Structure 1
Amino acid sequence: MPVISDKGRQMPESPIRKLVPYAEEAKKNGRKVYHLNIGQPDIKTPKVALDAVKNNNLEILEYARSEGSEQYREKIAAYYNSKGMDVSGKDIIVTTGGSEALLFALGTVADYGDEIIIPEPFYANYNGFATASGVKVVPVVSSIENNFALPPIEAFEKLISPKTRAILICNPGNPTGYLYSEEEIRKLADLVKKHNLFLLADEVYREFAYDDVEHYSIMREEGIEEHAIMIDSVSKRYSMCGARIGCLVSRNREVITTVLKFAQARLSSPTYAQIASEAALETPQSYFDEVSKEYVSRRNLLVSELEKIDGVRVAKPKGAFYCIAELPVKNTDDFARWLLESFEVNNETVMVAPAAGFYSTPGMGTNQVRIAYVLKKEDLITAVNILKEALKVYPDN
């Protein structure tokens, strides 16, 4: 039998998607499943984006430019400038989702065997992207005790080696919902300048910043123009996960030139999706105000209800639409599977994402879950009640 590559064997399973077969089986057996496991917003996509595709009269669906259309990139740049970032269209490469932007970034800044430092827990696919790129993830642990704030800079500095090429953050964070402050970003900026590293920031949840706290982008920080690489996407901002359009932004010309070569190798991002994404930039601010208000309400409700359950500890998120909850169980992988296979309340159950998959340090997060509050409030109440009842009878407690 032909042999599968080591890289293929080492690719991690998604902690978000690996339980899908169990959920599908539960549904086949007639049970309703409340999905708290995946960041698929239930907010409607802006009509202006959908109409741009519906009303388009293209006669030939041609390739787009590898870097994205000039018109679209200029409009993205205008959006960034409205957020206080000095960015032009030439600083942007349009990608097939933020995922491709991350892959291109790792391919640009690191060679096989090089290292990137990431505060954990982190978006699970960072492990997959690193494995696919032959790059080693070096985790620096953040803690639920302080809401997953940025670890001390000294903790980062201890991990820097001759193979270190970059620090990667997600701001606001998936899976923690933590929003880095301007002071924390500035500390990271000073660190990458001191050690001549890249600072990669996944900022796809930028619009989801709560409690009157403003998101501070690395692209606003002066003096790190050659170090800063920002990852972005339309998926969450406009509830357009299926469009698969993102971008990579940097004022480092060598970075952009190199990323473009990766983009040329895959030809181009989808034309219709770029049309929809360009139109989405016309979405009025009122849309984001309403969405933010809704998510704050959901967050407050979810955290409040979770805190009522004995033995549960939850970090209060400042952004995005996730939180990490610590449960009184030994292994949330087993618990999540048990919920789908063996438990129900009124023929209903819940699906959560075990948090161990958001860590790269073995043994971390085994009693934690990530919960996405992307359901309407009455469904969140029902889902948390099911979780509460499940914890009362779970046999491994």
Structure 2
Amino acid sequence: MMPESPIRKLVPYAEDAKKKGIKVIHLNIGQPDIKTPQVALDAIKNNTIEVLEYSRSEGSEQYREKLAAYYKNHNIDVVAKDIIITTGGSEALLFAMGSIADADDEIIIPEPFYANYNGFATASGVKIVPVISKIEDNFALPAIEEFEKLITPKTKAILICNPGNPTGYLYSKEEIEKLAQIVLKHDIFLIADEVYREFAYDGVKHYSIMEIEGLEQHAIMIDSVSKRYSMCGARIGCLVSKNKEVITTALKYAQARLSPPTYAQIASEAALETPQTYFDEVITEYVSRRDILIEELSKVPGVKVANPKGAFYCIAELPVANADDFAQWLLENFEYEGETVMVAPAAGFYSTPGLGLNQIRIAYVLEKEKIVRAVRILQEALKAYNA
């Protein structure tokens, strides 16, 4: 059965709260409030296309050439034929799972993980095998021995998100190299969802699986313009691999859905001209938002929070028995000075039953003043809920 989204399932309750005149502060979804680069918007506004045609199934050659040049600037040596443009990173993940795994095959994923991996696996007939990372360890990579215990003849890949959604954890070069060793040893794939690559903080560099020599035939990278350029609605992502068989198989899926969106590819190609100053400013802003969020949450009695090193999410553990109930109660039965908050219960980011029941994911994609206000509301809500 296709699982529901832990992020979006509470939307009807939020809409009802708004109809009552309650202002809802959204901490539940990773929709940045950062402006989309003007160069991308102008590429659409100023376009003179008279027939909105299909593009090639693998994406326009011009865009893939420019994307390959972008990756080379990030120490990732690929060419256009190693790239398939997809309808968002979501489709790239579906293509990856479908290309390397048959029904009932297994993919090992450190949990908590991006909730839609559950949905993609269900759609692909793939079984997710979780390896647990813990808030006490800041969600660092579990010991390699824990991965080894889970590998069976049906294991086809290890999948990571780096930096992580929902944890904000940034895997170190050493952790990535450990994973590379284990996939080479067992002749399986390493899939890395790297859509947050630009959002690495505290002077730590993001290290891609595509940088590892000797891993070329085992590495599959997933990427997207959604977060990098604040272009979630463009729905443009890509699958990148130097493994020709993977690309050839994924192309069959791409052909079956005809082509990725033409206008969105034009915008995404133009976005590659975005200057580094854009990212410098965005990263500075997110770091300050993260710092104020962690500072404010640490003042709330009973709350434990992991310190994210990338992306724009964190996991917080609350003094409640069930965060799903609490999140719904926030929208149905609580307001503080006319406002409430919407959060994403974290249980939906786990596949192991019973884990994450008292955790929530917070997306710090709001202005700092709103973050401070949201945590204040959360603190008052916890008092009332536990009274």
| Structure 2 partner of 1:313 | 304
| Structure 1 partner of 2:368 | 377
| Structure 2 partner of 1:346 | 337
Structure 2 spans left out of the alignment, 5+ residues? none
Q: Does 1:287 align with 2:287?
A: no
In 1: Cα distance, 2:205 partner to 2:117 partner: 25
CA drift of 1:149 comes to 0.2
Task: Choose the corresponding residue for 1:155, options 146, 158, 161.
Answer: 146
Q: Does 1:332 align with 2:339?
A: no
Q: Deviations over 1:191-225 (max 9, x none)?
A: 00000000000000000000000000000011110
Q: Does 1:193 align with 2:184?
A: yes
| Structure 2 partner of 1:6 | none
| Structure 2 partner of 1:135 | 126
CA drift of 1:102 comes to 0.1
In 1: Cα distance, 2:148 partner to 2:72 partner: 32
| Structure 2 partner of 1:394 | 385
| Structure 2 partner of 1:79 | 70
Structure 1 spans left out of the alignment, 5+ residues? 1-9
| Structure 2 partner of 1:3 | none
In 1: Cα distance, 2:33 partner to 2:129 partner: 34
Amino acid at match of 2:164: G
CA drift of 1:105 comes to 0.2
| Structure 2 partner of 1:217 | 208
Q: Deviations over 1:365-386 (max 9, x none)?
A: 0000000000000000000000
| Structure 2 partner of 1:235 | 226
User: What SS is found at the alignment partner of 1:346?
Assistant: coil
User: What SS is found at the alignment partner of 1:139?
Assistant: strand
In 2: Cα distance, 1:256 partner to 1:151 partner: 30
Amino acid at match of 2:90: S
User: What SS is found at the alignment partner of 1:230?
Assistant: strand
In 2: Cα distance, 1:245 partner to 1:342 partner: 39
| Structure 2 partner of 1:269 | 260
User: What SS is found at the alignment partner of 1:116?
Assistant: strand
In 1: Cα distance, 2:2 partner to 2:50 partner: 41
Task: Count residues in correspondence.
Answer: 387
User: What SS is found at the alignment partner of 1:21?
Assistant: helix
Amino acid at match of 2:232: C
| Structure 2 partner of 1:110 | 101
Task: Choose the corresponding residue for 1:22, options 10, 13, 18.
Answer: 13
CA drift of 1:113 comes to 0.4
TM-score (norm 2): 1.00
CA drift of 1:393 comes to 1.1
| Structure 2 partner of 1:247 | 238
1:34-183 alignment to 2 at 5 Å? Answer: 34-183=25-174
Amino acid at match of 1:41: P
User: What SS is found at the alignment partner of 2:72?
Assistant: helix
Q: What percent of counterpart residues are identical?
A: 78
Q: Deviations over 1:112-166 (max 9, x none)?
A: 0000000000000000000000000000000000100000000000000110000
CA drift of 1:234 comes to 0.1
Q: Deviations over 1:310-349 (max 9, x none)?
A: 0000000000000000000000000000000011111100
Q: Deviations over 1:250-279 (max 9, x none)?
A: 000011011101000000000000000000
| Structure 2 partner of 1:303 | 294
In 2: Cα distance, 1:202 partner to 1:382 partner: 32
In 2: Cα distance, 1:153 partner to 1:86 partner: 27
Amino acid at match of 1:289: D
In 2: Cα distance, 1:32 partner to 1:63 partner: 42
In 2: Cα distance, 1:38 partner to 1:384 partner: 16
Runs (4+) off by over 6 Å: none
In 2: Cα distance, 1:24 partner to 1:392 partner: 24
In 1: Cα distance, 2:3 partner to 2:307 partner: 28
Q: Does 1:356 align with 2:343?
A: no
User: What SS is found at the alignment partner of 2:292?
Assistant: helix
In 2: Cα distance, 1:99 partner to 1:250 partner: 16
In 2: Cα distance, 1:184 partner to 1:40 partner: 29
